Amino acid sequence: MFGTSGIRGEFGTDVNAGLALDLGRAIASENANRVVVGRDARTTGALLADAVTAGLRECGADVVSLGVVPTPTVARAVSWYGAAVGVAVTASHNPPADNGLKLWDRDGSAVVDGRQAVVADRIRADDYEYAPWDAVGTRTTRSDARDRHVNAVVDAVGDLGADAPAVVVDVGNGTGTVTAAALRALGCSVHTLDADADGSFPARPSEPTAETCASLRAVVEATDADLGVAHDGDADRMLAVTEEGTFVPGDVLLAVFATDAVSNGETVAVPVDTSLAVDRAVRDAGGDTTYTRVGDGHVAARTADNGVVFGGEPSGAWIWPAHARCPDGTLAAAKLASLVADADSVSSLVAGVEQTPLRRENIETGEKDAVVAAVHDRVEETYEDVTALDGVRVEVRDGWFLVRASGTQPLVRVTAEAATSERADELLDTARDLVQDALTVVAAD
């Protein structure tokens, strides 16, 4: 039921109003007396938000409704409004036909593992604590959450003064206009692309990549902008473009943020699919790297450990636990603008990262878990250095590859890294062949 980022899938099959209603009932039945609910701009978001709100109130929880806001706004609002839990109705970077529901804790981090399991068990057992007719929960609407988010980011970064950069913000028809507001409050000159919220994402696919951000790259290259930033549909992710219009790989941006955040003896949390370039950069800065399962909730959980000052994922999720334990695309954009104000350019920041050839590929399958299990059986027979923290990671003398099931989509994700491009390609081919063989085995079964 729950993946790496809550419940997510195709509307009408994997996710529907009945599931949202039951989720609300289950959360309230776990003694959540007040719950914050917000949603992204997806077409099906309003009815899912209504359904989860109905379930919450039916079992006695008061609901604070935020309307259409970024997911990090929902996460931050749990503490702002004295709630026990936050529910974001979102499928983040997924296609417009998808939707989902993600839970947030009092400290702003995603609810993961055990607490998700408790909620899922209640839903499977149809076990709810309904309130009496005269004690159902209330619903109030708050319209100030967006402004509070802007103010929190400004307080975290501070005025950038005369060196504030000119920024192009690619909203991608999502909820990320809060970033433009925050950057302007910091003193930046801001131009937005596709800022009208539209859950069908007509301008580009919701996930920001080098390919989907072609318009952003072209605008930044053709203007005097100092950088470009792009969000996914719910603005928890942020990726960047240099002043020359070059897309910055997520691992490189992770290294930039990590080395700025870490000092001697401090630690950065990253998932197992992260480039070794990040570990090298962090060690050069005097810090250490700790590895987690993929998913911002797992990274956020690790940032609660002593000495962990930053967490990030190459997909574009960035967490500064001193400010918020949720991935916050707006905070990340402001942090990057601050770094650019202090440096010559985004390009100079990127140039400081020693990169290693890295390959990533997705293979679509409805049997992702079975496929990864079959790959694990095969590599255990063939390789000596195999770990299964998340999927199957194989270390070889001159590189590594990882095969893991996506926690949000029907995909097997394959990653490979090596000292040379040729060897990285070879390792990717090896991993891809293992997946294809596993697909054949699973189909035969």
How many CA atoms, within 13 angstroms, populate the side-chain half-sphere of residue 84? 14
Rounded CA separation 233/94 (Å): 8
Order of strands across the sheet with 288-292? 288-292, 267-271, 308-313, 317-319
How far apart are alpha carbons 432 and 412 in whole angstroms? 10
Cα distances (Å, whole numbers) of residue 31 to 22, 35, 37, 55, 119: 15, 10, 16, 13, 11
Location of structure tokens 């039916």: 58
The encoded tokens of residue 106 equal 């009092």
Q: Residue 143: is it exposed, middle or buried by C-beta count within 10 angstroms (0-12/13-18/19+)? A: exposed
Helix residue spans in 91-236 (DSSP H): 114-125, 145-157, 177-185, 214-222
Active-site entry in 5, 29, 65, 92: 92
* φ, ψ dihedrals at 33, nearest 5°: -80, -25
92 is a catalytic site residue: yes
Sign of the CA dihedral 183, 187, 188, 192? positive
Cβ neighbourhood burial of 145 (10 Å; 0-12, 13-18, 19+): buried
Q: Which residues of 195-221 are buried (b: 16+ CB within 10 A; e: fewer)?
A: bebbbebebbbbbbbeebbebbbebbe
Report the distance separating Cα 186 and Cα 158, nearest Å: 7
Q: Is 86 exposed, middle or buried (0-12, 13-18, 19+ CB in 10 A)?
A: buried
Instruction: Copy the structure tokens of residue 365.
Output: 């399958």
Neighbouring CB atoms inside 10 A of 309's CB total: 17
Q: In sequence order, what are the residues at sequence separation of 6 or more whose Cβ sits closer than 8 angstroms to the Cβ of residue 285? A: 258, 259, 262, 263
| Residue 47 token pair | 């009815």
Q: In sequence order, what are the residues at sequence separation of 6 or more whose Cβ sits closer than 8 angstroms to the Cβ of residue 145? A: 38, 66, 69, 73, 74, 76, 77, 80
- Cα 315 to Cα 236, 405, 416: the distances in Å are 10, 15, 15
* Active-site residue set: 92
